[in-house]
Amino acid sequence: MSTLIYERNPFDILVRNFLQSTNRYQPIADSKLPHPVDIYERDNGLGLDIACTGISKEDIEILIEGNIIRINYDKDKDDCHCALECDCNDVSYIHKGIAKRSFNLGWKIDSKFNLSKATADFKNGLLQVIIPFAKGSEPKTLKIS
């Protein structure tokens, strides 16, 4: 005999999906998605890769204040960042998967990195920021006497 599960409202679905070991719950409507960012550490320092598809590098602002780095893009609603010459007001999207929304990202950077020597490169829609290690914070090998 099979058991039927009656899902009466969205809360029942949420609770069921939360308690399942393979959670497949995906927000569908009007959810604020995080901006795609990779943060990694290499031999030369800290790296940040920020996806900036459809955004020109002139529209991105990088601010460094003390030990905080902020990366901002403010989308002007009148700006069209389409690859083609078009009038975006006449476009009716069937699916809109390329995010060209505003973002304001910020991180507090550890003192082992030297923010004043950070570099930024923009290539193929990817903003890459490299923050080198500060002098004296590189790993040291101690000799046992």
pLDDT at site 55:
86
pLDDT value of residue 40: 93
* Residue 101 and residue 30 in contact, taking contact as beta carbons nearer than 8 Å: no
Dihedral pair phi/psi, residue 81, rounded to 5°: -110, 30
Percent of the chain with pLDDT over 70: 63
Over 60: is that where the pLDDT of 21 sits?
A: no
Residue 133 DSSP one-character state: B
Range in 43-47, 86-90, 101-105 the model is least confident about = 86-90
| pLDDT at res. 120 | 96
pTM score above 0.75: no
DSSP per-residue letters across 61-124 = EEEEETTEEEEEE---TT----SS---GGG---S---S----EEEEEEPPTTB-GGG-EEEEET
Ramachandran area for residue 124 (φ above 0: left; ψ -120 to 50: alpha; else beta): left
Q: Helix, strand or coil for residue 54?
A: coil
pLDDT at site 9: 61
- Residue 121 pLDDT > 90, yes or no? yes
Write out pLDDT tens, residues 68-88.
999 999 877 555 555 555 555
Tokens 């690859």, located at residue: 83
Is domain 33-85+98-135 in CATH 3.40.640.10, yes or no? no
The domain segmentation of the chain, as residue ranges, is 33-85+98-135
Maximum mean pLDDT: which of 4-13, 89-98, 118-127? 118-127
Residues 118, 107 contacting (CB under 8 angstroms): no
In the block, tokens 């409202």 appear at 9
